[in-house]
Structure 1
Amino acid sequence: MKLFLKTYARFIYPAVILIISLGIYFPFYGSPQAMFWDENYHVASAQKHIDGVMYMEPHPPLGKMLMAVGEVMFGGNGEIDKQKLLETDYLTGDNAPPAMTYKGFRWPSVIMMAFGVLFFYGIINAITQRAWLAAAFTSLVIFDNALVIHSRAAMLEGIQLFFILGALYYFVRVATDFIHHHKAILLKHYALLGVWIGLAIAVKVNAFILLLLFVMLFGVDQWSAIKQWQWRALIARLATTVPAGVIPVAAVFLAVFYVHIGMGTTIVKDRTYKASPEYLAQIRAGNTWSPSTFMLGMKDNLKYMSEYADGVPRLDVCKPDENGSYAMGWPLSKKTISYRWDKNTVDGKVVVKYKYLIGNPIVWFSVLGGIILSAGLIIGRYVYNNPIKDEKLFYWICAFTALYISYMVAILQIERVMYLYHYLVPLLFGAVNLALVFNYIYRDEVLANNKHTIINASLFALLVIAVFAFFSPFTYGFGLTEDQFEMRNWFSFWKLQVVR
């Protein structure tokens, strides 16, 4: 059996991981048959794509376009009058057709996040060359309650995280092929990485943090020249790599908007989103696919996105119903968000079905611990000149720690209210970093495939799974009594609120 696993590990581990991931992300994703949180916005926007209605939104349109594809393919709402979805940007439950199902709109996020888990596995496996280690730490993304509940909805993060993980995996594969197999890093590698990054940005603009991958790839590519400070060679290489990477990012972003603008052939109830008279005239004339209309529409869309962002209020912790939170508290899952609840009385007891955005505390606290350890390792190396026992692994730890810290620093510059799910992107950076820190600490044991180290990693994964199961009623909407709720109310800073 051991020989079999070793021989076919490259196929067995991904297959098992995918089956488990689908088993976690897919069950009951059509429940509740009602919208919650930003689904009220995105479902209405996706339907506009289906019916060719012009609209503008604060986020780029790729996520809603993919939701529209899911609805067309798997929606099952063909006989339902969805005119109300075209007449508003925020569809309330009262205006939603009672028989409407949301499976189609949710499907892209569910399937893409479930398959995106394979990218996460591939990232760790490519760096550590240990499939068992990659499989154990992939539990962090399969069994995180916040990732699961948010990705099982018609929201943008599950779609975006697929592209982010794809970009990270591609970057790691190119870099490791260069480091371990001396395969040259070509301009096409910068270009393909740019495509992945462009797709992620076309869902939500916070993916701009991935532009740091170009800097890191250039660092790997030109490390020998950097160490010898061959500045002329570096400038010459930059002259080709920068356009090779940046042009695909811009091309993908603009291509998505071109399709979005071209599909908006109808204006419903004079909902013009402050569009310019020139752009509106082109829509009414049926010229939405022309390049000149694209230029007008692109300008108006960017203006709308900017003005919308400026109009978002700041965080106000004094508001009793404030769902936003400070970014500094996110690593501890502060503050959770009650997406939805349904109350019933069963045998004289109040039973509430909650949909709560709450992270798996083992995952989130471990990720934070990994960042603290890696920061200490980096400070020890560059401030106190401590020796390092694995240079390549150390630089990988530096890379993912830098991505995590850079994202958090960037978020702290934003004045508008932000929410706990904005932490899901750095959570992935930190989860990869945690696996690398574990590998660094137990380097000799990992290289030797020490059975005790394998058992310890497996026990950690089992702990992650067990705590996920304990908090799963918040994730899947299983009924809880008040006592059962309080058993899961571990920390006051989570601000969980029981429904009585």
Structure 2
Amino acid sequence: MPPILASFANRTKTLAGYWADKLWNADDQTLRWLLGALILVLACFNFLRDVNNPRHAFWDESYYITAAERYKEDTAQFASHPPLGFMFMDLGQSIDRTNDKLDTAFLADVKKLDTRVVPKGYDFTAIRMPSALFAVAGALLFYLIVLRLTKEAFEAFVFSLLFVFENSFIVHFRAAHLDSYQLTFTLGSILVWLSTFGKDPKRPLLTFAVFGLLCGLSFMTKVNSLVMVALCGITLIRSLWTLRTRDNLLKSLARGGVAAGGFLATVALVFALHVVLNPKAPDPASKSGERDLRAMSQPYKDWLLDKRPLDLSVIWNGSYDYYKYMKGDFTGAILTEPNGSQPILWPFMHKIINYRWDFDGKRTAYIQMVGNPVNWGLGIVAIVGAAVLIVGRRSRRLSDGGQAEDFNRLEAIFAMFMIFWLFHIFLGTQRVMYVYHYFIGLALSFMMLPLVFRIAARKFAFLDKHRFIVLCSVSVLIAASYLFYAPLTYHQLMSRQACEMRNWPVKMVVCQPMKKRPSEAAKTL
């Protein structure tokens, strides 16, 4: 080796050794910051790269592109979901003006777009990037949640990889979908909730108000997260059960009241902003405009047509019209369809969805709604492990062993998971559900895992002794599984052989294009 290169290699080795030593011997506070920064870097790399691929709309983007275009034009409209997520897409378009040079006005004329008519050169970055950025924020929030649960930086880092390397999150959150916003606000509410559970926060009324606000923001993205307000109920019921006094009852009522107030105020504010920021009347000649106008009350239409001034009555009517539109859409929802998933089977990744595939003549690229099997398997371990530990504790066959706080939090998160799961099993009888509706439940199962691990490590000496090796092994498995399925996540071209490899040991993808049977091939000759 030339002397210059040898000198550079030695210096690099020395520098790497220096930082490795600093990291290994760092105090806990420094380690928390360093590992948090590493989570940020990994999340940015996984969620923010190649956002414009594929350069075609897929799944619900065919609805949301049209909604984003109407927001761009400040046109009043209604949708199947609350307006907050579309506002973020509009913000992305306001910042990234790449598509301004294209004629995109016709996209607003329909509620659902034929993806084949998207203008050539249309850049999806503007409406997808806000969702991806929220995913990065969600990864940091998840790290902070696990850090609060474990109080150990390395454990928090390892278990945060469940979020960062979750293929289904990456597929869905790098698209112009609503789930990233919903889950990020939900994670924020859980982080705030943790500061209220089992202890009094420094500013209790403010803390509960912030919890309600974050639940409201999540709800105003997708309404199925309404169930998460039960976390507040879990805290207050536990507090009342622990201390049954009149003062504590009044205190709990006040805290529940400000949480409800924060929630309702957020809902009202978002609806009001939607009305005020979109003062242009829909085009009655377009399909979308005709449909929206039919759902609008007269006071709202009069304001849009400059026949009356903006006042509280207009805002109320516009907001209530939006609510009625969503309710009507839910009422008419279909109960089954080929990609529909049974909520009771969600922990087992029931009904993977192929969003899109593209064939170049030799290889095929997929956007596949498939999760990281290692993560989902660990999620099942967490659910079962939590149930076993809780039953053992409540039947007095298992002592707390100085881990009362861990057990209490595990019971609360497990209860929230069961409430979420049962609520969605009921929703599955009312409308078709998809596996990505499980994202909040999946995140809750990920949160249970570090608590189950901590409790089990205290109970089993072998696990405690080899804790570091176990955590490192889990990290490698999570990352390796993510990399194995990454081509299905990032729309990367694969040969058929490479595609079929992903179907071992469980079928994950229908490899396209489908091979024709000999009889069918003969008919085409």
TM-score > 0.5, shorter chain as reference = yes
Which of these residues, 373, 385, 391, is aligned with residue 404 of structure 2?
Answer: 391
The answer to whether 1:294 aligns with 2:315 is yes
Please report how far the alpha carbon of residue 239 of structure 1 lies from its aligned counterpart in structure 2 after TM superposition.
3.0
Which of these residues, 287, 302, 308, is aligned with residue 329 of structure 2?
Answer: 308
Residue correspondence of structure 1 range 104-123 to structure 2 within 5 A: 104-123=126-145
**1:341 and 1:353 in contact (8 A); partners too:** yes
After superposition, the C-alpha distances for 1:197-225 in whole angstroms (9 at most, x for unaligned) are: 111111111111221121233256x3xx5
Which of these residues, 309, 324, 347, is aligned with residue 340 of structure 2?
Answer: 324
The answer to whether 1:143 aligns with 2:165 is yes
After superposition, the C-alpha distances for 1:467-493 in whole angstroms (9 at most, x for unaligned) are: 100000110011122221121113667
In structure 2, distance between residues paired with 1:141 and 1:116: 9
The one-letter code of the counterpart of 1:364 is W
Partner of 1:379: 391
In structure 2, distance between residues paired with 1:10 and 1:467: 26
**1:26 and 1:152 in contact (8 A); partners too:** yes
Residue correspondence of structure 1 range 420-435 to structure 2 within 5 A: 420-435=435-450
The answer to whether 1:233 aligns with 2:255 is no
The one-letter code of the counterpart of 1:209 is V
Partner of 2:4: none
In structure 1, distance between residues paired with 2:202 and 2:297: 49
After superposition, the C-alpha distances for 1:322-374 in whole angstroms (9 at most, x for unaligned) are: 111111222111101011110012xxxx3110000001000011101110111
Match of 1:138, SS state, is helix
Which of these residues, 175, 182, 192, is aligned with residue 160 of structure 1?
Answer: 182
Partner of 1:244: 258
Match of 1:413, SS state, is helix
**1:145 and 1:471 in contact (8 A); partners too:** yes
Please report how far the alpha carbon of residue 383 of structure 1 lies from its aligned counterpart in structure 2 after TM superposition.
4.1
In structure 1, distance between residues paired with 2:125 and 2:31: 34
Please report how far the alpha carbon of residue 460 of structure 1 lies from its aligned counterpart in structure 2 after TM superposition.
0.2
The answer to whether 1:172 aligns with 2:172 is no
Match of 2:110, SS state, is coil
Which of these residues, 449, 453, 465, is aligned with residue 438 of structure 1?
Answer: 453
Partner of 1:264: 278
Residues 451 and 387 of structure 1, relative CA distance in 2, 3 Å threshold: closer
How many matched pairs?
482
**2:303 and 2:310 in contact (8 A); partners too:** no
**1:109 and 1:158 in contact (8 A); partners too:** yes
Match of 2:363, SS state, is strand
Please report how far the alpha carbon of residue 278 of structure 1 lies from its aligned counterpart in structure 2 after TM superposition.
3.0
Residues 286 and 24 of structure 1, relative CA distance in 2, 3 Å threshold: farther
Which of these residues, 360, 367, 383, is aligned with residue 344 of structure 1?
Answer: 360
**1:156 and 1:204 in contact (8 A); partners too:** yes
The one-letter code of the counterpart of 2:353 is I
**1:160 and 1:204 in contact (8 A); partners too:** yes
The one-letter code of the counterpart of 1:371 is I
**2:299 and 2:317 in contact (8 A); partners too:** yes
Identical-pair percentage: 26
After superposition, the C-alpha distances for 1:403-454 in whole angstroms (9 at most, x for unaligned) are: 21111100111121000110111000000101111111113799x9967312
Residues 282 and 248 of structure 1, relative CA distance in 2, 3 Å threshold: same
Residues 241 and 496 of structure 1, relative CA distance in 2, 3 Å threshold: same
The one-letter code of the counterpart of 1:79 is K
Partner of 1:469: 483
Please report how far the alpha carbon of residue 281 of structure 1 lies from its aligned counterpart in structure 2 after TM superposition.
1.8
Match of 2:115, SS state, is coil
TM-score normalised by length of structure 1: 0.91
**1:132 and 1:454 in contact (8 A); partners too:** no
Unmatched tracts of structure 1, length 5 or more: 317-321
Residues 72 and 308 of structure 1, relative CA distance in 2, 3 Å threshold: same
Residues 200 and 406 of structure 1, relative CA distance in 2, 3 Å threshold: same
In structure 2, distance between residues paired with 1:493 and 1:343: 20
In structure 2, distance between residues paired with 1:291 and 1:497: 55
In structure 1, distance between residues paired with 2:38 and 2:309: 46
Partner of 1:282: 303
**1:161 and 1:425 in contact (8 A); partners too:** yes
Match of 1:94, SS state, is helix
In structure 2, distance between residues paired with 1:79 and 1:186: 51
Deviating more after overlay: 351-360 vs 374-383:
374-383
In structure 2, distance between residues paired with 1:462 and 1:412: 34
Residues 303 and 496 of structure 1, relative CA distance in 2, 3 Å threshold: same
After superposition, the C-alpha distances for 1:21-78 in whole angstroms (9 at most, x for unaligned) are: 1011111111111111011111211221121111101111000100110111124111
TM-score normalised by length of structure 2: 0.87
After superposition, the C-alpha distances for 1:149-205 in whole angstroms (9 at most, x for unaligned) are: 1000000011111111111112223447x3xxx754521111111111111111111
The one-letter code of the counterpart of 2:223 is V
Unmatched tracts of structure 2, length 5 or more: 1-20, 515-525
Residues 491 and 75 of structure 1, relative CA distance in 2, 3 Å threshold: farther
After superposition, the C-alpha distances for 1:106-154 in whole angstroms (9 at most, x for unaligned) are: 0111011112111111111112110100000011000011001100000
When the two chains are superposed, the root-mean-square deviation of aligned CA atoms in Å is 2.2
**1:136 and 1:461 in contact (8 A); partners too:** yes
Which of these residues, 13, 17, 22, is aligned with residue 44 of structure 2?
Answer: 22
Match of 2:412, SS state, is helix
Match of 1:52, SS state, is coil
**2:66 and 2:113 in contact (8 A); partners too:** yes
